[in-house]
Structure 1
């Protein structure tokens, strides 16, 4: 019995060591897989890079860098819809990255559809540019930071006796409070916009947009791969969409991929 117990203890120790090692490998796996994908990309093996990057996505992990590299690999293979799709995904996570935005513009040139957006007022353009300057989380963190700064400055104001310093602190915590309020407003607007918008990319090489959600209805217009649309409604396997010039219609759900 003693020998059996000793063997059992050894087996338990080995099992624990294997589990710890496995957990460590899993913890390192995403970064290792990412580097492996980068190596494939550097060697010009773009499809292998795509397959490698997708392993990370399959584990429910994402990042702007991952989407950006995926988009670059698809761009090298002239995969119009996937490259535009993943650049858009990267922009959602990091809207201020210049490399992502520049490469996304190059990918847009591969599209067939030339759609002229509806004109916007100067105020709306200004508001959109500021709103898109940060992500929802970015605006939220900015709000928290300036609220914290306001509290620190406000408390410091009551512990300082010098009038000149008190004036500076008063001005500083007032400005901090104003910036916090503005940041909160943009955070709310960004969240409301994200809740309202439902963008998607056309993945079908060519898709006939219908006037009604059935194949027997008349054709409204034709879209090609890579075009960005807004999904307004869904009926069974059909999505009602709006494109940048304001036209609306119904497209088969299988022809688009939601962002």
Structure 2
């Protein structure tokens, strides 16, 4: 009996020890990454852009990432006139912080430095409206909004159900219906944005210049030429080749090594 209790006690102590070790290692890794981030900022201020990039890349290698980290990487790459990587990291930052004005502004500067000027296909009024509304929140944001509205809907409906006066019943009923419409809207937007994200496979051209082929082989005809920093959509894959599409409707095949997926 005592031996069994001692075994359980030792097992419990082992778990507690392991927990504190993991907490300590996590704290140490966080402190190290914070030091690397500050070191990178200091190097950037002194004009040592490549060294700043090296410091920040060490943080990415640990699995840590943030909009601020990607934003700074984009700035350093832009200072070195690396248009492809700068656009890539600004786009990565924008994925994590889609409404950040500084990221959008610097991304626009980097995009203006690209060689390729691609005019997107004209959009309908509804498509423009949907694009503006859908980017207000991420999929997670729309989902959280839907859950919030569902809670308010239930509360208002309960108030309506238990209200004693006709005036209050009318007020809570109208309010619950209004919140119900918002719930349906946010839920619909969450599904639509999730569907868009599932189909969305953006990538950035990293090669200084690449010939886009009509077929997934080096011997096929050249459809057109692209340069670094151009944003494309991956439509299909055939071995080490990607079929890409542009905003203007053009498409073709390029080697997978010539681009980097976002």
- Is the pair's TM-score, using the shorter chain for normalization, greater than 0.5? yes
Q: 2:230 and 2:160 mapped to 1: Cα distance?
A: 55
Q: 2:132 and 2:26 mapped to 1: Cα distance?
A: 43
Q: For structure 1, which segment, 220-229 or 143-152, has the greater mean C-alpha deviation from structure 2 after superposition? A: 143-152
1:111 equivalent in alignment to 2:114: yes
TM-score relative to the length of structure 2 = 0.86
TM-score relative to the length of structure 1 = 0.87
Distance 1:173 1:209, change over 3 A: same
Output one character per residue of 1:64-91: Cα deviation in whole Å (capped at 9) or x when no partner: 2221121111112211001101111111
Output one character per residue of 1:101-138: Cα deviation in whole Å (capped at 9) or x when no partner: 11111110110001111111111111111111211111
Aligned-partner SS, 1:166: helix
| Residue of 82, 92, 97 corresponding to 2:95 | 92
| Residue of 58, 76, 79 corresponding to 2:82 | 79
Aligned counterpart, 1:62: 65
Structure 2, gaps ≥5 residues long: 1-16
Q: For structure 1, which segment, 107-116 or 129-138, has the greater mean C-alpha deviation from structure 2 after superposition? A: 129-138
Shift of 1:162: 4.2
Distance 1:37 1:169, change over 3 A: farther
Aligned-partner SS, 2:223: strand
Shift of 1:21: 4.7
1:197 equivalent in alignment to 2:207: no
Shift of 1:43: 3.0
Matches within 5 A, 1:1-259: 19=21, 21-259=24-262
Q: 1:24 and 1:65 mapped to 2: Cα distance?
A: 20
Distance 1:162 1:75, change over 3 A: farther
Output one character per residue of 1:205-228: Cα deviation in whole Å (capped at 9) or x when no partner: 000001111111111000000001
Q: 1:56 and 1:247 mapped to 2: Cα distance?
A: 37
Alpha-carbon contact 1:94-1:135 (below 8 Å) kept = no
Q: 2:38 and 2:181 mapped to 1: Cα distance?
A: 44
Output one character per residue of 1:9-49: Cα deviation in whole Å (capped at 9) or x when no partner: xxxxxx99x94654431243333332332232233322222
Distance 1:218 1:144, change over 3 A: same
Give the number of equivalent residue pairs. 245
Alpha-carbon contact 1:210-1:220 (below 8 Å) kept = yes
Distance 1:210 1:178, change over 3 A: same
Q: 2:73 and 2:115 mapped to 1: Cα distance?
A: 22
Shift of 1:233: 0.8
